[in-house]
Amino acid sequence: MTFWTGTVDRISPEAPVPVVNVQHVEERAGGAGNVAANIASLGAGSQLLSFVGDDDAGRRVNSILETAGVDRHLHIDPKSRTTEKLRIVSRNQQLLRADFEDRPDSGLLARSVTDFKELLGSADVVVISDYGKGGLANVVDMIGAAKERGVPVVVDPKGGDFTRYWGATMVTPNRQEFESITGVPVNTPQFAQAAGELVESAGLEGLLVTLGADGMMLFLASGDVIKQEAQAREVYDVSGAGDTVVAVIAVAIGLKLTWTLCLELATRGASAVVGRFGTSVVSLSDLKTDEVDRI
């Protein structure tokens, strides 16, 4: 992700659009790379399996992830390009976003599954970040392989078919994603029933619905429901908050913490990153509690 930040003090004479005097350029890992960077920032081992193009953007993201302490397994697709998201910002306000992306080669997709199965041998938890860009065409096989080895799987979902994630430990839709797939608003009495039915139909152990300022709710296959209130905080930028949630949840599951503590820590992490600009990563100090000190 690239951020061009500057000031606006005039309108273009060529069209009714602001002219941004760019004064600062910053690049960060986005998408699954941001999840991996968050995990590494928490002191856990982090291995990223993904796709990049044979281009300068791919080399830059590899360097960013190396600096973040992420062990990279990047398939280079010479026929595709590395996904880039450019944001132009002035006075903390995003003025424009431009995306550059392509879909990975089918042959690389098949090879990535082989690599995934090999990497499972050293994994305590798997995070699958689905952005609907074509890189998870074989997600059913991947989750099945993890389940066979007893490795928990946390999924940040995309799309309207959660049965693709059958057998996952936890799937983490946000409010809009949940309402889109179930047709049930979260502020109605039918919310809990719809969530429970989704857990059952998709064969999940748990469904964590993130609700922004309203916190989050975890619906377990056992029928238990755990609600976590949000922490009051001035919101600076919501970019990457969902990535932080799945990263913290994954690390907490790896440590075999209780579900209640998992949610509390995820809320602390999300609250911290929305108070900072861009796809900021969470740190252990952001999660500081008496319970964490004892871990």
Residue 158, classed as helix, strand or coil, is coil
Q: Report the run of H or E that residue 116 belongs to, with start and end.
A: helix 106-119
* 292: amino acid identity, one letter: V
Q: Which of 77, 237, 243, 286 is catalytic?
A: 243
Structural domain includes residue 157: yes
Segment 167-199, tens digit of pLDDT: 999 999 999 999 999 999 999 999 999 999 999
Residue 120 lies in domain: 32-81+105-294
Structural domain includes residue 91: no
**Which residues are registered as beta bridge partners of 26?**
3
**Which residues are registered as beta bridge partners of 90?**
6, 93
Structural domain includes residue 115: yes
Structural domain includes residue 89: no
CATH number, position 111: 3.40.1190.20
At 106, the pLDDT band (50, 70, 90 cuts) reads confident
Q: Which of 281, 217, 204 is nearest to 247 (CA)?
A: 281
Structural domain includes residue 23: no
Q: What is the per-residue pLDDT for 101?
A: 87
Total domain count, the chain: 1
Structural domain includes residue 21: no
Structural domain includes residue 185: yes
Structural domain includes residue 238: yes
Query: Is 243 one of the annotated active-site residues of the chain?
Result: yes
Task: Take residue 193 and report the two structure tokens written for it.
Answer: 């029933």
Segment 233-272, tens digit of pLDDT: 554 455 667 899 999 999 999 999 999 999 999 998 888 8
**Beta pairing, strands 153-156 & 126-129:** parallel
